[in-house]
Amino acid sequence: MPVDNPVDWSHTRAAVWRRHRQGLRAIARLDPVQWHQLQGIERQQAALATNTERFLQGLPANNALLWGARGTGKSSLIKALLNRYGRDGLRVIEVDKDDLVDLPEIVDDLCELPYRFVIYCDDLSFEAGESAYKALKSVLEGSLELPPENVRVYATSNRRHLMPEFMADNLKSEVRNGELHPAEAIEEQVSLADRFGLQLSFYPFGQEVYLQAVDALFPEVVNRQALHQEAIRFALGRGVRNGRTAQQFYRQFSDRRFDD
């Protein structure tokens, strides 16, 4: 990795890996989402906060996989985590799934730095035949060399096992002398997700949670009934209720008065 323009981590809380320049680019404009603004995912927030605080204190901490329905706050939780703990020494490096082959080189340059780094991979999943996950495995649990103590991986995904599962994989399983020998494909799918010691599930919002998210975005509105009616109508048009839908509703109606 080039060192002619290294990131100044004392003034930079996040960076993104750029494959074409083979280096990190500091992120100047961070998403301002705050911890208290997230709605309906209190259980996941508490679990991730506890794990991150242990990590920052130098205690044993797990890699984390946030998986589940789209638009339910997985990515926003990581962004809010940085805004909450950045002053405590937390730093985040975003790495695209297609750049995971460079992960060992990225991590090599972080080992001796006095900060705690989360490697963040958004929307992580692999198709059959892809091999980039092998580099991820080595960072999650190490090979001959142990993974660095100041680096953890936090990933989001719509898939629990990160890799596709096919009926044919189960059909290849067989029982020999009473012992079940599943197909190698199944073992590989599960073993990758198993390397994330903390797995947090996210589910679609019910209407009540969706409206709580809307209310948090419109704190000044007095006529909640009119606001909720419009928000429900908007969600029906989108065909989904989640935090992303609430944000999109806010962007479209933020200047509208619901008190008329």
Cα gap 68→62, rounded to integer Å: 19
Length of the chain: 260
Task: Choose the weakest-confidence range: 65-74, 121-130, 163-172, 217-226.
Answer: 163-172
pLDDT digits (tens, 9 = 90+) for 5-14: 689 999 999 9
Highest-scoring range by mean pLDDT, 65-69, 126-130, 184-188: 65-69
CATH top-level class of 14-26+37-202: alpha beta
**Helix (H) or strand (E) segment spanning residue 124:** none
Residue 258 — very low, low, confident or very high, per pLDDT cuts 50/70/90?
confident
Q: Taking a C-beta distance cutoff of 8 angstroms, is the pair 66, 57 a contact?
A: no
- The domain limits of the chain are 14-26+37-202, 207-253
Does the predicted model carry a pTM greater than 0.85?
Answer: no
165 or 246: which carries more pLDDT confidence?
246
Task: Give mean pLDDT, residues 224-250.
Answer: 93
Give the CA angle between residues 70, 73, 75 to the nearest 5°: 90
pLDDT given for residue 3 in this prediction: 47
Instruction: Classify residue 86 by its DSSP letter.
Output: G
Average pLDDT, the chain: 84
Cα gap 64→200, rounded to integer Å: 8
pLDDT given for residue 121 in this prediction: 93
**Percent over 90 (pLDDT), the chain:** 50
pLDDT of 128 above 70: no
